[in-house]
A and B are shown apart, each in its own frame.
Chain A
Amino acid sequence: MHAPGSALPEILVAGVGLTPIGEHWEKSLRSIALEAMTAAVEDAGGLRPQALFVGNMLAPALSAQTHLGVLLADFAGWRGIEAATYEAAGASGGVALRQAVLALASGEMDRVMVVGVEKLTDRIGSSVEAALAAAADADFEAVQGLTPAAQAGLLMRRYIHEHHVPEHGFAGFSLTAHANAVGNPRALYRRAIRLEDYASAPMLSDPLNLFDAAPVADGAAAILLTRGDRHRPAGERTPIRILASAVATGPLALHDQPDPLGFEAALISAGRAMAQAGMAARDIDLFELHDVFSIYAALALESAGFAERGQGWRLAAEGEISRTGRIPISTLGGSKARGDAGGATGVYQAVEVVLQLQGRAGEAQVPEAQVGMGQCLGGAGATVATHILARADRL
């Protein structure tokens, strides 16, 4: 591992918590969030946050609820603290995490809680599709009936066309995610699948099939961060430091991107994060990317420098993304099999990277992991938030 060159002050993870992703009919948005936040506080030895930053996309559309910052701070018994929601579609959680890092780096705060939460299952079918589609350009994309799956289908067809990907060339992403989820007791689909299952899956938005797409459901993940110079985490646990935090944007509409397969915002976001950490792709031991659609996993690998343009799918086809491969991804199942809780994803990824770096990933443990990267996407790569975390005892 390279010597630490992080441009950030020492920001440490005090505690993490998450709920399984699933159809939690019996739980409300606030109770799911509380479960994750309580777990993070317990993990941090009872530390109380000074501020709560919420990552959420869908509560206004699906729960008729805005103002989640105060709702959740009050519900957690933290009346009086600073609290607000950050929204950037599927990148909401990563953007909220970024804001927490900035608040801590500024010196204004010492202890910040970030929670990513989504409650999707109170509504069904076309309402959920419409709420998700609202993350695209409403006037020029959603009005044409475009959905997130259709955006991914458009990109996947073009990718296959330009790069001559063979039939089932993307299957490896789905197979790996499902195989990894078997080792994660909190995963939504804890079941390995075979190539035959992938090959016979119904089309969602051709050439994108059911197994190229992540299932969306309810969930919350929370991470409590501190400034290392003011609050050292207590206890025996391996200290984890945030080395980099970067957000970049591209055009909102897919059709406005000059080079849709270039995934430019991801390129910028990952590049900034690696520069901040003083690292290159070869220094990253695992990469929790946003495999909400398999094509996005391929594009994320390419834009972060793990594969040449047009070659990202080969990493999956050749086993390089498994837990013992060159660059493990979706190590606890990813969005594909752990499940995708929309705007909560960036926080799930950060928590899962922490669990891997601390050796707490159980049967899903990646051996010898010291540096991990998380990256979540809003829309078809319109907003991209990237974080790099590392074992502080090895820096």
Chain B
Amino acid sequence: MEVSRHWRLRQQRYALVGEVCPHCDVKIFPPRDICPDCGREARTEYQFSGRGEVYSYTTVHDAPAGHEAYAPYTVAVIRLEEGPMVTAQLTDLGDQPIEIGTPVEMTTRKIGEDGERGMLVYAYKFRPVLRPA
């Protein structure tokens, strides 16, 4: 079990807290402390809106250990509206077809179980933004 590892990432997993570069204003997620664009220090916290659109998506049938119970599941790369991309499962899909460009928003869901005692791991997933009927 990796309790501290999951705990350490709680701000990212539950709230999409990243960083903004104070030098070039680039938004950064996940946080990495050094701006990937200008190479200077970037430790200013930044709260992402959780809104974005699907850059690409696929389905996992052969799941790795810890995820078998959830297979098949849909994984996507999401382009956040602030710029960076993030890898996340899609959820609450219902009958809505997913396409490249589908608007999505962040939500919190169980993502897996860790270790023999089955500690539950929660994290962000993304769901389609509800459209008016």
Nearest CB of chain B from residue A254's CB, rounded to whole Å: 7
Contact at A145–B60, with CB atoms within 8 Å?
A: yes
A351 contacts the other chain (CB 8 A)? no
A303 contacts the other chain (CB 8 A)? no
Interface centre among B59, B70, B87, B88 (most CB of A within 10 A): B87
Given A154-B75, A154-B77: A129 touches B62 (CB 8 Å cut-off): yes
Contact at B75–A145, with CB atoms within 8 Å?
A: yes
In the complex, what distance in Å separates the CA atom of A373 from the CA atom of B123?
43
Nearest CB of chain B from residue A140's CB, rounded to whole Å: 5
Contact of A205 among B36, B55, B60, B100 (CB under 8 A): B60
Within 8 A of A (CB), among B56-92: 56-68, 70, 73, 75-77, 84-89
Tell me which residues across on chain A come within 8 A of B73, comparing CB atoms: 145
Closest residue of A by beta carbon distance from B9: A139
Query: Could you mark each residue 113-157 of chain A with 1 if its beta carbon is under 8 Å from any beta carbon of chain B, else 0?
Result: 000000000000111011011000101111111110110011101
In the complex, what distance in Å separates the CA atom of A145 from the CA atom of B76?
11
Given A143-B123, A146-B75: A256 touches B85 (CB 8 Å cut-off): yes
Contact at A144–B87, with CB atoms within 8 Å?
A: yes
In the complex, what distance in Å separates the CA atom of A123 from the CA atom of B50?
39
Contact at A143–B36, with CB atoms within 8 Å?
A: no
Contact at A255–B85, with CB atoms within 8 Å?
A: yes
Contact of A206 among B59, B76, B87 (CB under 8 A): B59
Interface centre among A130, A141, A145, A206 (most CB of B within 10 A): A145
Contact at B64–A126, with CB atoms within 8 Å?
A: yes
A13 contacts the other chain (CB 8 A)? no
B121 contacts the other chain (CB 8 A)? yes
A234 contacts the other chain (CB 8 A)? no
Tell me which residues across on chain B come within 8 A of A27, comparing CB atoms: none
In the complex, what distance in Å separates the CA atom of A137 from the CA atom of B121?
17
A347 contacts the other chain (CB 8 A)? no
Contact at B58–A205, with CB atoms within 8 Å?
A: yes
Tell me which residues across on chain A come within 8 A of B15, comparing CB atoms: none
Given A154-B77, A158-B56, A255-B86: A147 touches B112 (CB 8 Å cut-off): no
Contact at A157–B100, with CB atoms within 8 Å?
A: yes
A253 contacts the other chain (CB 8 A)? yes
DSSP majority for the B interface?
strand
Contact at A140–B30, with CB atoms within 8 Å?
A: yes
Tell me which residues across on chain A come within 8 A of B61, comparing CB atoms: 203-205
Contact of A144 among B57, B65, B68, B123 (CB under 8 A): B123
In the complex, what distance in Å separates the CA atom of A106 from the CA atom of B64?
42
Closest residue of A by beta carbon distance from B70: A145
Tell me which residues across on chain A come within 8 A of B56, comparing CB atoms: 154-155, 157-158, 161
Contact at B36–A126, with CB atoms within 8 Å?
A: no
Contact at A253–B63, with CB atoms within 8 Å?
A: no
Contact at A130–B87, with CB atoms within 8 Å?
A: no
Contact of A154 among B5, B9, B58 (CB under 8 A): B58
Query: Could you mark each residue 89-131 of chain A with 1 if its beta carbon is under 8 Å from any beta carbon of chain B, else 0?
Result: 0000000000000000000000000000000000001110110
Contact of B89 among A129, A144, A149, A208 (CB under 8 A): A144
Contact of A133 among B59, B64, B70, B84 (CB under 8 A): B64
Nearest CB of chain B from residue A148's CB, rounded to whole Å: 10
B residues near A (Cβ < 8 Å) are 5, 9, 12, 30, 36, 55-68, 70, 73, 75-77, 84-89, 100, 111-112, 121, 123
22 of the cross-chain contacts (CB-CB < 8 Å) are: A125-B62, A130-B64, A130-B65, A132-B64, A133-B64, A137-B87, A139-B5, A140-B86, A145-B60, A145-B63, A145-B67, A145-B73, A147-B62, A150-B60, A154-B75, A158-B100, A161-B100, A203-B61, A207-B58, A208-B58, A255-B85, A256-B36
7 A-B pairs closest in CB distance:
A153-B58, A130-B64, A129-B64, A255-B85, A130-B65, A145-B67, A158-B56
